[in-house]
């Protein structure tokens, strides 16, 4: 039996990144583009209510807002899931840069972890990288059109003024304030300059390749929506699915809920999603490569490929990172490798005493399906 199938174009949701320096019009442009993508618009505002200053402005759509004072990746994930569950057409993340360098963002989390591990950045990144990966997965898999703004690292270049003919300094962006490679996660990457001119630097839509427009807006969003609608319809996500995933991804209090979904939900895909979220939290909590290796052994025995293959890919990447971190930690502090406790018995793959019971339960549910 072949593992491949014939490629088929399906309808999809937009993934648009707007990158620009201060004053380039990122929030304003995001709202105008969103108006072309859908009617119900939500905004995640990380900039102290700046988005709300555009409420009621002529030419801009109505929108709902959620203001984040903390920029932990889990806060973003929970907000994305909430937008899905509440049926919004478009979600604007303004700004995604704060998930990297904001309060409780990735860089601050790394600094905090490193200080608790004798300034060992390898150990710190081993804990924070899975969090960042979960945020990327939430963005790329969101069941809404998504427009994310990112601040640009700024430099100044001398340009000639067309009217006076004199040289003058101009602020230019040289890449987004985010982890290297974030642009690869989006279908459309648009750079904005100080004159509010938008220029596409990455697109999967051939007709928009090289597109440049001053004060881009609703028409641009409509072109994206039309291109994405050309394909086989995808079965819509049910309300039950959305509600379960919102519960399953709530930060810091979701483990028991996810386990309950995994054990009691007959729908295989919902169970798989809950288990993957559970796997993500497992990687955040555990600190030992041996525990991840045990979880990989458990996943390899799973007969449900929609669970097993994705969990294995996630954990194998984490195992490589964790082994490197442990080697570095052992070299600097021999006792550090023994600091972690045993794997919690609540994990589906944890605890030798309950492994047989959980395997029997999983097989029983698989037969029921």
- pLDDT tens digits along 202-234: 998 988 988 998 888 899 999 999 999 888 876
User: Is the predicted pLDDT of residue 288 greater than 90, yes or no?
Assistant: no
Averaged over 34-43, what is the pLDDT? 95
Q: Strand pairing of 188-192 and 15-20?
A: parallel
Query: Per residue in 127-169, pLDDT tens?
Result: 888 889 889 988 988 889 999 999 988 666 667 777 777 777 7
**Which residue has better confidence, 35 or 339?**
35
Q: How is residue 194 written in tokens? A: 């100080």
User: Is the predicted pLDDT of residue 42 greater than 60, yes or no?
Assistant: yes
The span from the CA of 146 to the CA of 224, in Å, is: 12
Query: Per residue in 14-27, pLDDT tens?
Result: 999 999 988 899 99
Q: How is residue 292 written in tokens? A: 């991840």
The dihedrals phi and psi of 159, each to the nearest 5 degrees, come to: -125, 155
The span from the CA of 87 to the CA of 85, in Å, is: 5
**Which residue has better confidence, 339 or 321?**
321
User: Is the predicted pLDDT of residue 262 greater than 70, yes or no?
Assistant: no
What pLDDT shows up at residue 11?
86
**Which residue has better confidence, 281 or 157?**
157
What pLDDT shows up at residue 235?
54
User: Is the predicted pLDDT of residue 342 greater than 50, yes or no?
Assistant: no
DSSP 262-297: HHH---HHHHHHHHHHHHHHHHHH---HHHHHHHHH
Least confident span in 71-85, 111-125, 267-281, 283-297? 267-281
Helix (H) / strand (E) containing 246: helix 239-248
Averaged over 300-327, what is the pLDDT? 61
Q: How is residue 213 written in tokens? A: 């427009």
The span from the CA of 246 to the CA of 77, in Å, is: 9
Tell me if 231 sits within 8 A of 11, measured CB to CB: yes
- Virtual torsion, Cα 347, 350, 352, 355, nearest 10 deg: 50
Nearest to 99 by CA among 179, 186, 15, 25: 179
What pLDDT shows up at residue 334?
53
Q: How is residue 224 written in tokens? A: 């994206």
User: Is the predicted pLDDT of residue 362 greater than 90, yes or no?
Assistant: no
**Which residue has better confidence, 232 or 269?**
232
User: Is the predicted pLDDT of residue 282 greater than 50, yes or no?
Assistant: yes
Cα dist from 267 to 53, 235, 306, 368, whole Å = 43, 15, 12, 10
What pLDDT shows up at residue 327?
75
Least confident span in 97-106, 186-195, 342-351? 342-351
Domains and CATH numbers, the chain: 15-228 (3.40.50), 239-368 (no CATH)
What pLDDT shows up at residue 4?
84
Averaged over 278-300, what is the pLDDT? 61
Query: Per residue in 88-120, pLDDT tens?
Result: 999 999 989 999 999 999 999 999 888 877 778
**Which residue has better confidence, 60 or 333?**
60
User: Is the predicted pLDDT of residue 61 greater than 90, yes or no?
Assistant: yes
């Amino acid at each position: 039996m072949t593992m491949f199938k014939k490629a088929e174009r399906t309808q999809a949701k937009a993934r648009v990144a707007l990158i620009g320096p201060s004053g380039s019009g990122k929030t304003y442009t995001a709202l105008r583009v969103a108006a072309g993508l859908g009617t119900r618009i939500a905004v995640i505002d990380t900039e102290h209510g700046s988005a709300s200053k555009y409420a009621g402005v002529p030419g801009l759509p109505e929108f709902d807002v959620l203001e984040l004072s903390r920029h932990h990746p889990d806060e973003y994930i929970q907000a994305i899931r909430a937008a899905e569950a509440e049926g919004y057409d478009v979600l604007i993340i303004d700004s995604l840069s704060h998930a990297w360098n904001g309060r409780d963002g990735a860089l601050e989390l790394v600094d905090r972890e490193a200080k608790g591990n004798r300034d060992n950045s390898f150990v710190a990144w081993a804990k924070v990288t899975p969090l960042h990966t979960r945020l990327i997965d939430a963005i790329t898999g969101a069941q809404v059109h998504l427009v994310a703004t990112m601040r640009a690292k700024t430099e100044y270049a001398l340009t000639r003024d067309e009217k006076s003919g004199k040289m003058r300094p101009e602020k230019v962006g040289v890449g987004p304030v985010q982890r290297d490679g974030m642009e690869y996660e989006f279908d459309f990457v648009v750079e904005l300059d100080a004159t509010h001119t938008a220029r596409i630097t990455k697109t999967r839509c051939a007709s928009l390749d090289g597109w440049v427009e001053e004060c881009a807006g609703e028409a641009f969003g409509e072109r994206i929506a039309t291109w994405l609608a050309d394909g086989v319809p995808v079965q819509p996500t049910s309300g039950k699915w959305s509600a379960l995933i919102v519960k399953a991804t709530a930060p810091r209090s979701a483990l028991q809920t996810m386990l309950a979904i995994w054990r009691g939900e007959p729908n295989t895909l919902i169970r798989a999603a809950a288990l993957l979220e559970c796997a993500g939290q497992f990687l955040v909590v555990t600190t030992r490569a041996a525990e991840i290796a045990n979880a990989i052994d458990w996943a390899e025995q799973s007969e449900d490929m929609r669970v097993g293959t994705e969990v294995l890919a996630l954990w194998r990447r984490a195992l490589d990172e964790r082994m490197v971190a442990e080697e570095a930690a052992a070299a600097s502090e021999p006792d550090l490798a023994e600091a972690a406790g045993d794997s919690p018995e609540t994990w589906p793959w944890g605890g030798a005493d309950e492994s047989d019971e959980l395997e029997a339960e999983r097989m029983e549910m698989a037969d029921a399906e």
